[in-house]
């Protein structure tokens, strides 16, 4: 009998709006539980972190975390499951980088670069003013802004410090160390 190989992925969790009666921390815990209920094995969980809303001043602070998972799903199938979970928790996709009850993003998936190196490079190098209004047509992995975002990197360091970026060759710990100190200081353990 053939067994399907398990892949490793890191999923970022975030939110800054309450859902029903729950705080963002409660939502992240419940979303993690829901992920496991759908057959995705959670191997490690980060601490919860409070991070400033982006862009600054546009809403309440976020709660961010990361989980390392094992799954038999493809990256696209995993993304579909995560979008379904976001919807279950009241996520409305009205505005890019807006306030939300739950945000689930695949940051890393094995050592894959998707959909291809050229697309990854184009999104990696996209100027910030274009990022605000542009939405990729395909899942891009690793997340093209991972190395720039303390709110994603710091929790990822909790669950996959030695994961090596397939394009830059740097580990998550190395990328964290290269962030400006003031940016990392804004990511506060709850």
Residues tagged active-site: 91, 100, 103, 105
d(CA 80, CA 126): 25
CB 46 within 8 A of CB 32: no
Structure tokens at 103: 């945000």
CB 167 within 8 A of CB 113: yes
The dihedral built from the CA positions of residue 158, 159, 163 and 168, taken in this order, carries a sign that is: negative
d(CA 72, CA 4): 7
Structure tokens at 62: 């976020």
Q: What are the start-end ranges of the H helices in the chain?
A: 24-37, 75-88, 117-124, 128-131, 150-159, 172-178, 181-185
Residues 6+ apart with CB under 8 A from 21: none
Rg value, the chain, Cα: 16
């Amino acid at each position: 009998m053939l067994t399907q190989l398990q892949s490793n992925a890191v999923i970022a969790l975030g939110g800054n709006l309450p859902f029903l009666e729950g705080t963002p921390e409660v939502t992240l815990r419940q979303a993690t539980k829901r992920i496991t209920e759908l057959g995705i094995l959670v191997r490690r969980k980060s601490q919860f972190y409070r991070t400033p809303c982006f862009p600054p001043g546009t809403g309440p602070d976020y709660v961010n975390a990361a989980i390392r998972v094992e799954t038999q799903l493809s990256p696209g199938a995993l993304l579909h499951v995560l979008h379904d979970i976001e919807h279950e928790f009241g996520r409305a996709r009205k505005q890019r980088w807006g306030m939300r009850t739950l945000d689930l993003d695949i940051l890393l998936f094995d050592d894959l670069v998707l959909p291809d190196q050229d697309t990854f490079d184009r999104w990696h190098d996209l100027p910030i003013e274009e990022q605000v209004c542009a939405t990729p047509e395909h899942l891009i992995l690793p997340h093209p802004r991972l190395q720039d975002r303390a709110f994603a990197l710091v929790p990822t360091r909790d669950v996959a410090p030695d994961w090596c970026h397939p394009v830059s060759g740097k580990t998550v710990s190395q990328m964290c160390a290269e962030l400006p100190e003031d940016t990392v200081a804004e990511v506060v353990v709850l």
